[in-house]
């Protein structure tokens, strides 16, 4: 079978959650499948070869094109041309790992992964440009053309059924994985810790958030809960580290930090290199991720694998992904988040219990399992 995969999300030197998913899934698919032929498709008006992973397996062909992105996306959208299968000299199955502009033959079997429906449920969290992009891409139409749909979680499957009225039998829940060779417990005297502290100017003790700086992540809520905790405890040795790349509509996040009475103890690191993440997690006293909505949520599992206690939101996929292995709070309740921070930091027995449950919980997720279940679906 000739399996074509859209790898346009891998063209950037920095990876989003979607790119992490696509890269890890593809690497593990190619480890276990030497029988099928893979055709990897990308297009960019710029030279992005240096950013792409090195897929040199004998059953892999890479088809890169250099059309201006606006031109080809407009052609896909308005002319339904050129057909991607024609560019690839044919395929039996086309896999779309995330929403994107496509022009495909109606006869081609198509499978798409839907990570979340935040753009439908919370459009106010997105910029005008992003909302327009989602409108133009016509997700419901693209999804309806697919033979099967992969959802990152049961929560996303329910959203797909409710919002797009899709039949349950068309949607397969396949959990993304976690790289356990990478995200793991690290010896406390590891020499890389000193390098990471200096690289990101990290304090000795800190609460950590790691993710895109955008409204959906509820970072203002984290800052306000930190203010509340400090107003009661006044710990000069404890800081809040907000790590991650610039997103959108985030001016109010920086204003909240500047206006905090404890602004000297709030640190923004900017983008964190993938290779540095396990060390950053491991240095934290606590990881907070009270997002208003997540289709899956890689950071909470990454933190758990590194032995860090996690506070997350009691919403969307978190109860399903975390169960009782993390402290789950109402993301709208600043006081509840502040109390949970205080409880974990002050109660060592409770903190260790959350750590132990987290380490056990994240073992449920592996890229090998994700790849095998995806390959099984391809073969149906």
Using DSSP, state whether 307 is helix, strand or coil: coil
Nearby residues of 72 by Cβ (< 8 Å), 6 or more positions away = 43, 65, 82, 101
What pLDDT is stored for residue 380 in this prediction? 83
Nearby residues of 98 by Cβ (< 8 Å), 6 or more positions away = 6, 9, 18, 21, 22, 113, 115
Distance CA 221, CA 292 (A): 10
In the Cβ-directed half-sphere of 307, how many Cα atoms lie within 13 Å?
Answer: 10
Q: Give the model confidence (pLDDT) of 43-78 as tens digits.
A: 999 989 899 999 989 999 999 999 999 999 999 999
Distance CA 269, CA 242 (A): 7
Strand partners, 281: none
Q: Give the model confidence (pLDDT) of 255-292 as tens digits.
A: 999 999 999 999 999 999 999 999 999 999 999 999 99
Q: Give the model confidence (pLDDT) of 308-322 as tens digits.
A: 999 999 999 999 999
What pLDDT is stored for residue 260 in this prediction? 98
Low-confidence residues of the chain: pLDDT under 70: none
Q: Give the model confidence (pLDDT) of 337-349 as tens digits.
A: 999 999 999 999 9
Distance CA 164, CA 152 (A): 16
> Where do the H-state alpha helices sit in the chain?
17-32, 69-74, 84-87, 118-121, 128-137, 139-144, 154-164, 192-200, 219-233, 251-259, 277-283, 298-305, 318-322, 334-346, 348-361, 367-378
For the chain, which domains are there?
2-177+366-378 (3.40.50.2000), 192-364 (3.40.50.2000)
Distance CA 276, CA 283 (A): 11
What pLDDT is stored for residue 246 in this prediction? 87
Distance CA 16, CA 291 (A): 16
Distance CA 354, CA 281 (A): 15
> Sign of the CA dihedral 369, 310, 205, 344?
negative
Using DSSP, state whether 151 is helix, strand or coil: strand
What's the pTM? 0.94
Using DSSP, state whether 172 is helix, strand or coil: strand
């Amino acid at each position: 079978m000739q399996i074509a995969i859209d790898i346009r999300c891998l063209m950037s030197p920095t990876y989003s959650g979607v790119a992490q998913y696509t890269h890890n899934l593809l690497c593990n698919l190619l480890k276990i499948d030497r029988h099928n032929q893979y055709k990897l498709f990308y297009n960019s008006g710029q030279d992005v070869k240096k950013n792409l992973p090195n897929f040199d397996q004998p059953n892999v062909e890479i088809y890169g094109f250099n059309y201006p992105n606006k031109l080809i996306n407009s052609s896909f959208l308005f002319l339904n041309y050129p057909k991607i299968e024609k560019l690839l000299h044919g395929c039996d199955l086309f896999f779309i790992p995330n929403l994107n502009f496509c022009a495909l033959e109606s006869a081609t079997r198509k499978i798409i992964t839907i990570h979340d429906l935040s753009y439908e449920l919370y459009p106010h969290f997105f910029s005008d440009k992003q909302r327009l992009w989602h409108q133009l891409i016509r997700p419901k139409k693209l999804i309806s053309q697919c033979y099967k749909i992969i959802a990152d979680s049961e929560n996303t499957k329910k959203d797909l059924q409710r919002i797009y009225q899709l039949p349950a039998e068309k949607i397969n829940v396949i959990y993304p994985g976690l790289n356990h060779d990478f995200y793991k417990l690290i010896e406390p005297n590891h020499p890389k810790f000193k390098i990471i502290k200096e690289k990101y100017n990290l304090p000795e003790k800190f609460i950590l958030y790691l993710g895109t700086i955008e409204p959906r992540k509820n970072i203002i809520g984290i800052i306000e809960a930190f203010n509340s905790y400090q107003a009661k405890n006044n710990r000069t040795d404890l800081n809040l580290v907000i790590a991650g790349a610039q997103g959108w509509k985030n001016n109010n996040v920086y204003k909240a930090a500047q206006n905090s009475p404890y602004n000297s103890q709030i640190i923004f690191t900017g983008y964190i290199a993938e290779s540095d993440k396990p060390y950053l997690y491991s240095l934290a006293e606590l990881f907070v991720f009270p997002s208003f909505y997540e289709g899956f949520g890689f950071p909470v599992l990454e933190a758990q694998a590194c032995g860090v206690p996690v506070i997350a939101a009691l919403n969307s996929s978190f109860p399903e992904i975390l169960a009782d292995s993390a402290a789950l709070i109402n993301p709208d309740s600043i006081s509840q988040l502040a109390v949970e921070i205080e409880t974990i930091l002050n109660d060592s027995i409770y903190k260790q219990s959350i750590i132990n449950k987290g380490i056990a919980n994240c073992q449920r997720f592996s890229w090998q399992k994700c790849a095998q279940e995806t390959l099984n679906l391809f073969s149906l």
